[in-house]
């Protein structure tokens, strides 16, 4: 579920609860989540260290620990981080948990178990994670420069974390719909005014979703329930397009579903 807005909201929510606290003990309940790293190594490295801060890079979460150690968490499809009032209450089906010095716990929940937890390699991560779309660095000029070089279909380009970090299947589809761009069309073939519209849509969609996610995640234990973003096309195959009322279509791109309106998006 989580794309940039949800991941950012999760980070903000847990940051005020765990920052400055020391991890007394870590447990990894599903050992495959650390592959190819050794889970016992991560447990050993985390114990006794203070959580100095929590950072987000695209959809990646970094727990910056004392002594220049960082844990790298990726929520993938269904992961979530919560703080629970007593470490003994940890939910079933969690990937891992960290007992804090006040006996609360930071829990990495994940019903689908695709999330990952590793010791971070900050240099490698910085090299493979693209520009932050909600940062000041994401200017139209910068976007135009990237787009002109790309012959990938628009949707594939937007999903590629090396270009823009944090868009996923939902918000990529929604941004393309808002800008009336065919997801199959390579960005290099669009006129600059269309690209400008897309740039604006990416920012607007993510900002709107972030505000909703912040509201939904405001409680320390809140899980992401329900739809808080007013999706126009995502998951709406066969339903009427909100603009022209013709049917929304679903196609496959890069092994993922893409939803769009063939009439409005060209």
Partner DNA sequence: ACATTATCCTGCACGC
Partner DNA sequence: TGCGTGCAGGATAATG
| Catalytic residue annotation | 2-3, 59, 256
| Cβ proximity to DNA, 183 vs 241, nearer residue | 183
Minimum Å gap between C-beta 156 and DNA is 6
Instruction: Tell me: does residue 1 bind DNA (CB under 7 A).
Output: yes
Question: How many angstroms separate the CA atoms of 31 and 112, rounded?
Answer: 14
> Angle 145-175-115 (CA atoms, 0-180°, nearest 5)?
95
The DSSP letter of residue 164 is: B
Q: How far apart are CA 16 and CA 200, in angstroms?
A: 31
| Tokens representing residue 68 in the block | 């220049």
Binder among 16, 32, 142, 207 for DNA (CB under 7 A): 32
Structure-block tokens of residue 14: 């847990």
CB 64 within 8 A of CB 80: no
CA distance linking residue 202 with residue 198, whole number of Å:
6
- Residue 58 or 133 having the CB closest to DNA: 58
- Asked if 208 interacts with DNA (CB under 7 A), we say no
Q: Per CB under 7 A, does 107 bind DNA? A: no
204 close to 229: Cβ distance less than 8 angstroms: no
Note whether 255 binds DNA by CB under 7 A. yes
Of 17 and 168, CB closest to DNA: 168
Site membership for DNA, residue 77 (CB under 7 A):
yes
Among residues 170, 181, 198, 202, the one that binds DNA under rule CB under 7 A: 170
Tell me which residue of 176, 171, 152 sits closest to 162, measured CA to CA. Answer: 152
The DSSP H or E segment spanning 84 is strand 80-84
Structure tokens at 198: 């897309």
Min dist. Cβ of residue 110 to DNA (A): 8
If you count them, how many residues does the chain have? Answer: 266
Q: Least Å distance between CB 48 and DNA?
A: 29
Q: Does 3 bind DNA (CB under 7 A)?
A: yes
CB of 38 to DNA, least distance (A): 15
Q: Is 157 exposed, middle or buried (0-12, 13-18, 19+ CB in 10 A)?
A: buried
Judged by beta carbon, residue 50 or residue 76, the one nearer DNA is 76
168 binds DNA, rule: CB under 7 A: yes
Report the residue number, 235 or 242, with the smaller CB distance to DNA. 235
Stretch that binds DNA, among 1-9, 16-24, 101-109, 195-203 (CB under 7 A): 1-9
Distance separating alpha carbons of residues 181 and 53, to the nearest angstrom: 39
For DNA, the closer CB: 133 or 168: 168
Among 203, 224, 249, 262, binds DNA (CB under 7 A): 224
CB atoms within 10 A of CB 36: 5
Q: CB 27 → DNA: shortest distance, Å?
A: 17
As a whole number of angstroms, the distance between CA 171 and CA 165 comes to 12
Please give the residue ranges that form the binding site for DNA (CB under 7 A).
1-3, 6, 32, 58-59, 74, 76-77, 93, 111-114, 128, 151-153, 156, 159, 161, 168-170, 224, 227, 229, 235, 252-257
């Amino acid at each position: 579920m989580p794309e940039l807005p949800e991941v950012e909201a999760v980070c903000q929510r847990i940051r005020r609860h765990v920052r400055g606290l020391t991890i007394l003990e870590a447990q990894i309940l599903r050992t495959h989540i650390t592959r190819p790293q050794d889970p016992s190594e991560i447990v050993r490295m985390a114990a006794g260290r203070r959580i100095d801060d929590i950072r987000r890079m695209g959809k990646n979460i970094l727990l910056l620990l004392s002594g220049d150690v960082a844990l790298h968490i990726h929520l993938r499809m269904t992961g979530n981080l919560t703080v629970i009032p007593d470490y003994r209450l940890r939910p079933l089906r969690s990937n891992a948990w960290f007992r804090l010095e006040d006996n609360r716990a930071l829990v990495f929940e994940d019903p689908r178990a695709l999330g990952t937890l590793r010791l971070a390699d900050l240099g490698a991560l910085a090299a493979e994670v693209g520009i932050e779309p909600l940062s000041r660095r994401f200017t139209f000029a910068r976007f135009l420069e990237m787009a002109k070089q790309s012959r990938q279909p628009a949707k594939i380009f937007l999903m590629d974390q090396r270009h823009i970090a944090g868009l996923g299947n939902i918000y990529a589809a929604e941004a393309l719909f808002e800008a009336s761009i065919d997801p199959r069309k390579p960005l290099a073939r669009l006129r600059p005014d269309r690209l400008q519209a897309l740039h604006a849509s990416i920012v607007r969609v993510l900002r709107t979703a972030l505000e909703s996610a912040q509201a939904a995640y405001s409680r320390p234990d809140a899980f992401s329930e329900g739809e808080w973003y007013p999706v126009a096309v995502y998951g709406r195959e066969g339903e009427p397009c909100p603009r022209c009322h013709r049917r929304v279509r679903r196609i496959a791109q890069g092994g993922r579903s893409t939803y769009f309106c063939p009439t409005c998006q060209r």
